Amino acid sequence: MIPSITDIHIDELQAKTGLTFDQERRKAIKEFNDIQACPGSGKTTLIAAKLILLAKSWKQNTSGICVLSHTNVAKNEIVSRLESDEYGRKLLSYPHFIGTIQEFVNRFLALPFCRSKSIEIKRIDDEVCFNYIDSKLSWKARRYLDGKPKASISNLQIRYVNGGFKIVVPGFKKTSTSDSYKNLYSIKKAMMKDGVFFYREMFEYAKAYLDINPNVIRSIRSRFPLALVDEMQDTSFVQDEIINKIFSYEGGAFQRLGDSDQAIFSGGEEDSSNSYNDLQLQIINTSHRFNPSVANLASRLSTNKVKLISSQLVNNAQPHTIYIVDEQNRPRVLSAFAQLCGNNLPLDEKHPIKAVGGIGKTKPEGLTIKHYFSNFDKSNSSKNFKPDKMIEYFRKTQKITTCNSDGYKIVLDGIRRLFSIAGFEYIPLSQLKGMIKDSPKCNEINQKIIGIQSSDLNDSQGWGHNIKELLTVLGLLDKYALLTEFISYVAPIAIADNEFVPVNMFVERVNGRNISIVVDTIHAVKGETHSATLLLETKFHEYDVHQMLDYIIGVKSKKPTGVRKPKFMKQLYVAMTRPKHLIGIAIDKSRIPEAKRKVAIENGWNIVDLTVGN
């Protein structure tokens, strides 16, 4: 029996927490309708509130609530809210489950199937698989794939089709007797024998398990009579298929939350809408994030024509600016935006300023973030953090002011790479944490980590001494030769006044204070709140800002069609809904004629031409 939630329960929670839930949000908490929640709507707060109220009245000891999310970030946000509440903490253990869709599929479907078929799983990791294949690829196969632009070694995977498994060999539509085909096929067979698999392949084993053992669905439904899915818009076709097969049934309590206007992660081989994104959903369109002027401009990029409403009563309109650039002046836009922010943002504003673009990878004939900021390194992106040097993990922790455990996890990720480079088997982060906790040198290891975190990481000699001591307490000093490159010192990027700034950050002094702009990809900043955001035009076959310009300046509202325009709209919507105060956009002068500049000004934009006088 699922506990019911009433307005009285919500009133009690409001009195306890100081939160306020309007009628839209109350309806979402009390019922199990699918929800489209706009950026800054407080979706995580709503989910946590609902879970706490359910937990308070939950009586079943062997059946629980299943909460699924697309990413670890979203999962951790929910968990952190529940940890702070006496009832919420009950949901963090049996019989409940809170995790990513991948974790759920692995635990309850894929791994049980593999155990039943004696399929050994040693490592589930896309990067490990890619490196495994790359290291064994023959020169003939490599040359063959180079001539097939759409074929990637990442697609060398198994698929469950018509009741059986088959190996998909990239670049080949059918079985071949060629040397290249034989090489790729043999690599895949060796991977399977060694127990190395892609994340995506676990869903194939899950499909097989559901196919041959229908009772597993009844078992999971009995264990989890109630399921909530966060970030539903980003689920792939196969994830959507499995989730619906298990949880969407007559009499089941099943609720999906997300924002189909922000569906920018699903794609690739399964470039298809899921069942959630194609629906007309109950909408929460009031945002606590941005001011009314940002809401007005960003609404133009809503695929579902959601009219965003700011909860802020005062409309402190900001000089949202379109910067006109050319090839010579593109790098100037960061300085111009820094000046704009320095002159207009509140002095006490703590949220970051970011410049974002759709394409981060260097492309010879394209337009990427590096054309605006030549130092940009995608490997140091906030959600793709995998630097070349161990020291960068510690530098990253020095920037974290919110939670010590976040910094510790970053260091553990670096230590995990130390063990991997040293030749050890893959160690999950949770297992590494347990190994350190159980180690007789636990205190020494943690003290050394804390010591390095608080040390001067611009001192090469000090770093050399500290990292050797860390290797010693970890028992890795004898692997020093293998680790030399990864643990070697590298200086941070210096700016003129001898202060140091991290990679992917532009800094300029404005009105006596440093204005720092973090440069990143649009995908990396999804879910974030910025004080101001600068959108950099990039090119993926076509120029994204140019393709969306008529929507941006308010002269077009019909939903775009085709292959790329709908994707561009969602990516730009994500970018334009990050900032609280201020939006900037950079576009090439050849793609915004004089007539459209005038329309832009009439419809709420300032225009600054950085090509004039140069």
How much is the pLDDT for 266?
56
In this structure, are 601 and 515 located in the same domain? yes
In this structure, are 371 and 395 located in the same domain? no
Q: Is 138 annotated as a binding residue?
A: no
For 225-229, 418-422, 485-489, 610-614, which range has the lowest pLDDT when averaged over its residues? 610-614
Helix residue ranges per DSSP H, 503-577: 522-525, 544-552, 565-576
Q: What single DSSP character describes residue 31?
A: S
- The domain boundary, picked from 487, 514, 540, lies at 487
For 25-39, 153-167, 424-438, which range has the lowest pLDDT when averaged over its residues? 424-438
Report which of residues 580 and 361 the model is more confident about: 580
How much is the pLDDT for 379?
66
Domain with 135 in it: 123-194
For the record, the structure tokens of 599 come out as 């329309």
In this structure, are 556 and 413 located in the same domain? no
In this structure, are 190 and 329 located in the same domain? no
In this structure, are 97 and 217 located in the same domain? yes
In this structure, are 474 and 548 located in the same domain? no
Phi and psi angles of residue 588, each rounded to the nearest 5 degrees, phi first: -70, 140
pLDDT of 240-277, one tens digit each? 999 999 999 988 899 999 999 998 875 554 545 578 87
In this structure, are 101 and 134 located in the same domain? no
On the question of pLDDT at 402 being above 60, the answer is: no
Mean pLDDT computed over 35-39: 94
Mean pLDDT computed over 71-86: 87
Q: Is 484 annotated as a binding residue?
A: no
Other CB atoms within 10 A of residue 220 CB: 18
How much is the pLDDT for 193?
95
Domain tally, the chain: 4
Q: Is residue 143 part of a domain?
A: yes
Query: Longest Cα pair distance anywhere in the chain, in angstroms?
Result: 73
Strand duo 97-100 + 65-69: pairing? parallel
In this structure, are 37 and 163 located in the same domain? no
Q: Is 38 annotated as a binding residue?
A: yes
pLDDT of 416-463, one tens digit each? 889 888 877 767 677 788 888 888 888 889 889 988 988 888 888 999
For the record, the structure tokens of 305 come out as 């024509």
Contact 92, 83 (CB under 8 A): yes
On the question of pLDDT at 499 being above 50, the answer is: no
Phi and psi angles of residue 337, each rounded to the nearest 5 degrees, phi first: -70, -35
pLDDT of 284-313, one tens digit each? 999 999 999 999 999 999 999 999 999 987
Q: Is residue 99 part of a domain?
A: yes
Residue type, position 509, single letter: R
CATH number of the CATH domain containing 97: 3.40.50.300
Q: Is 358 annotated as a binding residue?
A: no
How much is the pLDDT for 234?
86
CATH number of the CATH domain containing 527: 3.40.50
Q: Is 17 annotated as a binding residue?
A: no
How much is the pLDDT for 377?
78
For the record, the structure tokens of 202 come out as 């676990």
Q: Is residue 539 part of a domain?
A: yes
In this structure, are 441 and 466 located in the same domain? yes
Q: What single DSSP character describes residue 426?
A: P
Contact 133, 147 (CB under 8 A): no
How much is the pLDDT for 61?
92
Q: Is residue 614 part of a domain?
A: no
Q: Is 494 annotated as a binding residue?
A: no
Torsion, Cα of 405, 408, 410, 411 (10° steps): 180
Write down the residue that tokens 């020095």 correspond to. Answer: 398
Q: Is 403 annotated as a binding residue?
A: no
In this structure, are 510 and 589 located in the same domain? yes
Q: Is residue 385 part of a domain?
A: no
How much is the pLDDT for 139?
93
In this structure, are 375 and 507 located in the same domain? yes
- The domain boundary, picked from 487, 514, 548, lies at 487
**Reported confidence tier of residue 114, pLDDT bands at 50, 70, 90:** very high
Q: Is residue 135 part of a domain?
A: yes
Q: Is 266 annotated as a binding residue?
A: no
Other CB atoms within 10 A of residue 301 CB: 21
Write down the residue that tokens 């509202």 correspond to. Answer: 557
Q: Is residue 71 part of a domain?
A: yes
- The domain boundary, picked from 463, 487, 511, lies at 487
In this structure, are 473 and 515 located in the same domain? no
Q: Is residue 578 part of a domain?
A: yes
